[in-house]
Structures are given as structure tokens and as C-alpha cells.
């Protein structure tokens, strides 16, 4: 039941929404060094997850253990020894938080957790018009609309958090996040979505 497995995967993926929430909380508690503190913790977690990936690839008993509990939600390349999506998501969150200002990191990570999930779920269940690879028009439109909703919410709460975001910045960010999910590139989409969208917003947003 590939659709059910994809739904389970993306339901777990939605849990990465905790990262932008953590940015807001940690930055409020530690205004001066919150970025280094949070990105450092996430980098350590990513390294630990990477070690698990290496164990999974090299030691059959550990791979059998992982298969028993997580086999149904892992993709074929992950089962064959590739990095798991969770490792890449945590690493991309650490990188995104480290290089971008608070508001852009929050928005970019929400694009990943919500926009990417919407693309996969709608594309798998309702996608009919093929675009690139297994991507569909319906999935890409779902990603774009979700990113735009995230952008509108971010624009609405910006004054409360002291953020400076503009409609143009968020529109471009939404478009870049959607295109990053659509097109296949050497970088995993869990990494390229927040990083490419964040870079686009940083280039446009003054200050």
C-alpha cells in the first residue's frame, strides 16, 4: 500500500514543524546566542543519526533491527544504505538556522515541513497530470498554495515577533520552495527546499 506508506512518512515529516517553533522559543530565551545554541544541538543530533545510517548500511543485525520497526516507512534507497530522510531534515534545519536570520529560517523550515508534505500527499492521492519524474501538477499546486498560506500567516504575525518580512520576499520564497520540490537536483529536496528558499528571501529582503 504505497499511498498509505507515503501518508505515514509525510505525517512524520510534519513533525519537523517543531524546528521553526523551536527557533521562536530559543531565540526568545537566548536573544544573543540562540542561533548558535540551536543549530549546534541539531548538528549533533544529525551526526548521531548519520552514525545510525552508517551502522544500518554496514551491520546486518542493526539493519534487521531498523527494518523491524521502521521498514515500512523507509524508502528503497534508505533501506539499501542511503541516508534516511530524518538525518537530512535535521541537518538541513541546523544549516538553515545557522545561516539565515530568524524570520527567514522559520518561514523556510515551514515551507519544508508543510509545503513538501502537501505536495507529496496531494500528488500521491490526487495527482493526474505528470510534470517532472513522479511529480504532478496537483502536488506542485498544493505545495505552492501551502507555502503561500504559510507566507500570509508569517506576514500577519511579523509585527508581534519584530520580524521584517515583505509580500514580495514571501512570494518569491514560496515560488522557489515549490520549484525546489518539483525539479530533481543532486541535493535532496529536504535540504534544497529550505536552503534555496532561504537564500532567495535573503537576497530580496533588505537589511
C-alpha cell at 99: 545561516
Q: What is the pLDDT of residue 1?
A: 47
The residues, any chain, with a CB within 8 Å of residue 47's CB and separated by 6 or more, are none
Ranges of residues in the chain with a pLDDT under 70 are 1-13, 62-82
Is the distance from CB of 62 to CB of 55 less than 8 angstroms?
A: yes
Whole-model pTM: value is 0.88
Q: What is the pLDDT of residue 72?
A: 56
Q: What is the pLDDT of residue 121?
A: 86
What are the distances in angstroms from CA 26 to CA 34, 37, 42, 49, 132? 6, 8, 13, 22, 39
Is the distance from CB of 6 to CB of 121 less than 8 angstroms?
A: yes
What are the distances in angstroms from CA 183 to CA 3, 35, 138, 140, 189? 21, 30, 15, 10, 9
C-alpha cell at 125: 492521492
Amino acid at each position: 500500500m504505497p499511498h498509505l506508506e507515503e501518508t505515514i512518512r509525510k505525517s512524520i515529516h510534519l513533525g519537523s514543524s517543531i524546528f521553526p517553533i523551536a527557533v521562536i522559543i530559543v531565540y526568545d530565551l537566548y536573544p544573543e546566542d540562540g542561533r548558535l545554541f540551536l543549530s549546534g544541538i541539531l548538528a549533533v543530533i544529525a551526526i548521531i543519526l548519520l552514525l545510525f545510517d552508517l551502522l544500518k548500511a554496514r551491520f546486518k543485525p542493526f539493519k534487521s533491527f531498523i527494518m523491524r520497526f521502521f521498514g515500512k516507512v523507509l524508502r528503497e534507497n534508505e533501506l539499501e544504505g542511503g541516508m534516511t530522510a530524518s538525518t537530512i531534515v535535521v541537518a538541513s534545519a541546523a544549516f538553515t538556522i545557522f545561516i539565515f536570520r530568524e524570520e527567514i529560517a522559520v518561514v523556510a523550515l515551514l515551507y519544508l515541513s508543510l509545503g513538501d508534505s502537501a505536495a507529496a500527499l496531494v500528488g500521491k492521492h490526487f495527482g493526474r497530470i505528470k510534470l517532472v519524474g513522479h511529480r504532478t501538477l496537483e502536488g506542485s499546486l498544493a505545495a505552492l498554495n501551502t507555502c503561500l498560506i504559510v507566507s500570509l500567516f508569517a506576514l500577519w504575525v511579523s509585527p508581534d515577533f519584530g520580524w521584517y518580512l515583505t509580500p514580495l520576499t514571501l512570494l518569491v520564497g514560496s515560488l522557489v520552495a515549490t520549484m525546489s520540490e518539483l525539479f530533481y537536483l543532486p541535493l535532496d529536496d529536504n535540504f534544497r527546499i529550505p536552503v534555496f528558499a532561504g537564500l532567495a528571501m535573503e537576497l530580496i529582503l533588505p537589511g
